[in-house]
């Protein structure tokens, strides 16, 4: 058995423990490769940093799974499984964050194409509700065209939730959605989330205490608690890992459905490796560049 096949079998075995069914939606003809096997193949590809479907099918050529599915069918079914991949990810997250009281919120830019091409680009423009646009990332001093990834993670480094918005949407607006995702916890953010109105709203409605560093010129300024600064670095490390190992900023998708499925696949794979590290191997949670077998 090759190393690639052994990794696939390990991932498949653990994902099967999280769900009772092999197939998640009706198909007129029963496929040779079940939905849970397909999701395992998606996770394997992202874990091995195989970012091209063409390259993936060259890598698995000769393995048993290569004869069960064609590349075009793989791509189509992958997009159909978006909500089921997220459901599996959330089952893993629940095991990590069940008793977590501290979370970190932040955002990062996701470019779909260069600004020079934005006026004539057709990428992700098939859905009116999710059109990309131009935005600015202050931390990187970067003007870009695309989307913004908003995410919440625990202080251990496990993504609790995430969302995509057009690049021009301010970070503060994402906090309005957090009310339906979290409650009774402390939420740490940077200065981009400073808003007394939102802070009071979160506390009064769902008992979320929003902690952000104050600006030096504010009347009641005082330095933020050192431990909170340290906790906030965790999500920045996760974003760096997504950019480095999982190449989240490299985009091959042409539709928004394909784009959001790519982003979900990478975050789910990161969570799966963390899950295997903690519950299967007993390793350090955030050692992501490891051999599974």
Q: What is the pLDDT of residues 122-134, one digit of tens each?
A: 999 988 888 999 9
Q: Are residues 120 and 247 in the same domain?
A: yes
Share of the chain above pLDDT 70, in %: 96
Whose structure tokens read 């978006």? 82
Q: Are residues 112 and 232 in the same domain?
A: yes
pLDDT, position 285 = 86
pLDDT at 199 over 90: no
Of 38-42, 100-104, 177-181, 265-269, minimum mean pLDDT range: 177-181
Q: Are residues 138 and 229 in the same domain?
A: yes
Q: Are residues 76 and 132 in the same domain?
A: no
3 state DSSP class of 218: coil
Q: Are residues 130 and 202 in the same domain?
A: yes
Phi, psi angle pair for 145, to nearest 5°: -120, 120
CA 115/CA 135 separation, integer angstroms: 10
Q: What is the mean pLDDT of the chain?
A: 88
Domain count for the chain: 2
Length reported for the chain: 293
- Structural Rg of the chain based on CA atoms: 20
Q: How confident is the model at residue 194 (pLDDT cuts 50, 70, 90)?
A: confident
Q: Are residues 24 and 132 in the same domain?
A: no
- At 265, list the tokens: 């696949």
pLDDT at 217 over 70: no
CA 194/CA 211 separation, integer angstroms: 9
With residue 163 as reference, give the H or E element that holds it. strand 159-166
Q: Are residues 243 and 135 in the same domain?
A: yes
Residues 6 or more apart from 271 whose CB is under 8 A from it?
89, 92, 93, 158, 159
pLDDT at 26 over 70: yes
Q: Report the CATH number that the domain containing residue 165 is assigned in CATH.
A: 3.30.420
CA 173/CA 170 separation, integer angstroms: 6
Residue 258 lies in a domain: no
pLDDT at 221 over 90: no
Distances (CA, A) of 178 to 104, 154, 169, 244: 12, 14, 15, 27
Residue 270 lies in a domain: no
Q: Are residues 113 and 154 in the same domain?
A: yes
Residues 6 or more apart from 18 whose CB is under 8 A from it?
88, 91, 92
pLDDT, position 46 = 93
pLDDT, position 98 = 78
Q: What is the pLDDT of residues 225-252, one digit of tens each?
A: 667 778 888 899 999 999 999 999 988 8
Residue 88 lies in a domain: no
From first CA to last CA, the distance across the chain in angstroms is 11
Q: Which of these three, 253, 270, 288, is where a domain ends?
A: 253
pLDDT at 1 over 60: no
Q: Are 133 and 86 in contact (CB under 8 A)?
A: no
With residue 187 as reference, give the H or E element that holds it. strand 185-188
Q: What is the pLDDT of residues 246-292, one digit of tens each?
A: 999 988 889 999 999 999 999 999 999 999 999 998 888 888 887 77
CA 185/CA 203 separation, integer angstroms: 9
Of 100-104, 166-170, 190-194, 261-265, minimum mean pLDDT range: 190-194
pLDDT, position 291 = 78
Q: Are 114 and 75 in contact (CB under 8 A)?
A: no
What is the longest distance spanned by two Cα atoms in the chain?
67
Residues 6 or more apart from 15 whose CB is under 8 A from it?
36, 39, 40, 43, 88, 272
Whose structure tokens read 């490390």? 237
Tell which phi-psi region holds residue 105, choosing left (phi > 0), alpha (psi between -120 and 50) or beta: beta
pLDDT at 63 over 70: yes
- Owning domain of residue 181: 100-253
Q: What is the pLDDT of residues 139-183, one digit of tens each?
A: 888 899 999 999 999 999 999 999 999 999 988 888 888 888 888
pLDDT, position 4 = 86
């Amino acid at each position: 058995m090759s190393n690639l096949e052994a990794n696939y079998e390990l991932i498949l075995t653990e994902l099967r423990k999280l769900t009772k069914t092999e197939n998640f939606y009706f198909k007129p003809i029963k496929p040779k490769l079940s939905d849970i096997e397909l999701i395992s193949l998606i996770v394997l590809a992202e874990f091995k940093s195989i970012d091209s479907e063409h390259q993936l099918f060259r890598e698995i050529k000769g393995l048993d799974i290569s004869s069960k599915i064609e590349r075009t069918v793989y791509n189509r079914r992958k997009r159909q499984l978006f909500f089921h991949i997220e459901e599996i990810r959330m089952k893993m997250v629940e095991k990590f964050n069940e008793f977590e009281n501290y979370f970190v919120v932040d955002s990062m830019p996701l470019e779909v194409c260069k600004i020079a091409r934005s006026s004539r680009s057709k990428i992700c423009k098939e859905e009116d509700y999710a059109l990309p646009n131009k935005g600015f990332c202050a931390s990187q001093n970067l003007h870009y065209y695309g989307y913004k990834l908003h995410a919440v993670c625990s202080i251990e480094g496990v993504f609790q939730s995430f969302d995509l918005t057009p690049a021009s949407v301010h970070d503060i607006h994402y906090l309005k959605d957090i009310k339906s995702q979290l409650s009774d916890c402390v939420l740490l953010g940077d200065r981009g989330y400073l808003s007394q109105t939102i802070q009071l709203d979160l506390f009064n409605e769902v008992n979320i205490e929003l902690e952000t560093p104050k600006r030096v010129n504010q009347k009641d300024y005082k330095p933020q608690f050192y431990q909170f600064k340290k906790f906030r670095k965790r999500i920045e490390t996760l974003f760096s890992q997504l950019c480095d190992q999982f190449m989240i900023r490299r985009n091959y998708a042409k539709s928004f459905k394909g784009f959001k499925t790519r982003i979900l696949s990478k975050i789910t794979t990161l969570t799966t490796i963390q899950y295997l590290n903690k519950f299967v191997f007993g390793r350090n949670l955030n050692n992501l560049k490891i051999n599974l077998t």
